[in-house]
A and B are shown apart, each in its own frame.
Chain A
């Protein structure tokens, strides 16, 4: 039976050096979240834990009596919802089944454990030296005057997985927003200098991409 970390693509030394350029660490994490200290897999930085390593979180636990006052009950059932964030090359279905099998295996014979597996999203990675990535990096550099840093996102964008699996096509994520844009929250915003820089970056990208792909072919 495959384990949780079995298919995890290790971070190369070069990749770790690039990720170390990201100005985010324990202090920023504390300020962002209000936790008294960071936590996570030993031997990895905060950025690596979020973007380059898998994680498992209990999203909710329930069961029994939680109302006002006292009710002396032994509940028949207890429930949990568990999410796992996966990195290349983990398979969502395989990880879900392995985790469920593990939980059923370690459960005592005094109970039964049933699991329901939801539809998952596979992780995605585009090599940083892919010609389209190089064209994108050059396009940013021409407009910003600085080389972009390659980052890993801890979240998922399901359409990227669809493009990979169904259309066999790499995706260039050419973002222009900022971390504090208040997405999904009140006062969503867009920093306008980067809207205009974005248009110029796209102009450069359309110009640079054909030659980059041709040189690669």
Chain B
């Protein structure tokens, strides 16, 4: 009988893997409508599993898309900190399926490695935390901190229903720290922690010249060509060294100088 959580996880390694393989067999591809039932099944599997590790307060919560599995264990009391664990149980499609050495939803161990769709993104990584929780609850009957678990089913299709869910349940989701395992470390034996992520801006540009396409014999040389202009605009976005050209322009040039310098 394992006395500490660490002893427990070492004793139960093989069972953990078998359980993970059961989760990986569910083809929960969120982007393909024909897998809608599999999404429900994966959510239900996780809710049942979370109950089995000792958290009774767990729900499969519907959204406008695939459901969110939400669970909490607040037995450490109001003075203890709370961590919100986020993961996602949906996976990417498997095309081109003929390039898989073993079927994507038949988890297979070769050497030291487990192969399956979702093995690391993100079923395998979210499962890490469920097993750590289990280790505490099954050896000590409690955790040193409060735990909230939010498992999403739409990460691979852009999480369209997550922001409204978080907004609606902001009070309930309050925690001191969020914890996510959905990234990689530098080398197998060199761990790393990502402390910054880049953001994203996206624009679509339309350059309009004539009102409709023109015959280059009838008009060529007398009207500007939107493709030429677009090429010049794109070229102006970086200088020759690789620095973003608009940057220097916007920061340093007085308005009157702008057209001349850039």
Q: What is the CA–CA distance of A184 and B229 in the complex, to the nearest angstrom?
A: 37
Residues of A contacting B182 in the complex (Cβ-Cβ under 8 angstroms): 157, 173, 175, 177
Interface of A is mostly: mixed
Determine if A162 is an interface residue (Cβ-Cβ < 8 Å). Answer: yes
Judging by beta carbons under 8 Å apart, are B204 and A118 in contact?
Answer: yes
A184 to chain B, nearest CB (A): 5
A106-B258 in contact given A115-B206, A123-B198, A177-B183 (Cβ < 8 Å): yes
Interface flags for A70-94 (1: CB within 8 Å of B; 0: not) read: 0011111111111111111010110
Interface residues of A in 102-140 (CB under 8 A from B): 102-103, 105-108, 110-128, 132-133, 136-137, 140
Q: For B97, list chain A residues within 8 Å (CB).
A: 186
Using C-beta atoms within 8 Å of the partner chain, give the interface range for chain B. Answer: 35 or more
A6 contacts partner chain B, Cβ-Cβ < 8 Å? yes
B96 on interface, CB distance cutoff 8 Å: yes
> With an 8 A cutoff between CB atoms, is A183 at the interface?
yes
**Is B120 touching A190 in the complex (CB atoms < 8 A)?**
yes
- Whether the Cβ atoms of A190 and B166 lie closer than 8 Å is no
Instruction: Say how far B209's CB is from chain A's closest CB, in angstroms.
Output: 5
B256 located at the interface, meaning its Cβ lies under 8 Å from any Cβ of chain A in the complex: no
Residues of A near B163 (CB, < 8 A) are: 162, 166
**B41 interface hit (Cβ, 8 Å):** no
Q: List, in ascending order, chain A residues with CB within 8 A of B219's CB.
A: 74
Helix, strand, loop or mixed for chain B's interface? Answer: mixed
Are A184 and B244 closer than 8 Å at their CB atoms? Answer: no
Residues 151-183 of chain B, each 1 if its beta carbon lies under 8 Å from chain A, else 0: 010010011001100110010011111111111
> What is the bound-complex CA distance between A155 and B145, given in angstroms?
31
Given A174-B180, A195-B114, A199-B132: A210 and B201 within 8 A (CB)?
no
Given known A72-B215, A174-B179, contact A112–B208 (CB-CB < 8 A): yes
Is B70 at the interface (CB under 8 A from chain A)?
no
* Interface residue? B64 (CB, 8 A): no
Q: CA A55 – CA B143 in complex, angstroms? A: 43
Residue A27 at the chain B interface, CB threshold 8 Å: no
- Given A22-B192, A149-B192, 14 more A-B residue pairs with CB atoms under 8 Å apart are A40-B242, A74-B213, A74-B215, A83-B200, A86-B201, A111-B229, A123-B196, A163-B86, A169-B175, A174-B179, A176-B120, A189-B113, A189-B115, A195-B128
In the complex, the 8 A-B pairs of residues with the closest C-beta atoms, listed nearest first? A175-B183, A3-B250, A4-B247, A110-B224, A202-B132, A3-B251, A123-B199, A186-B99
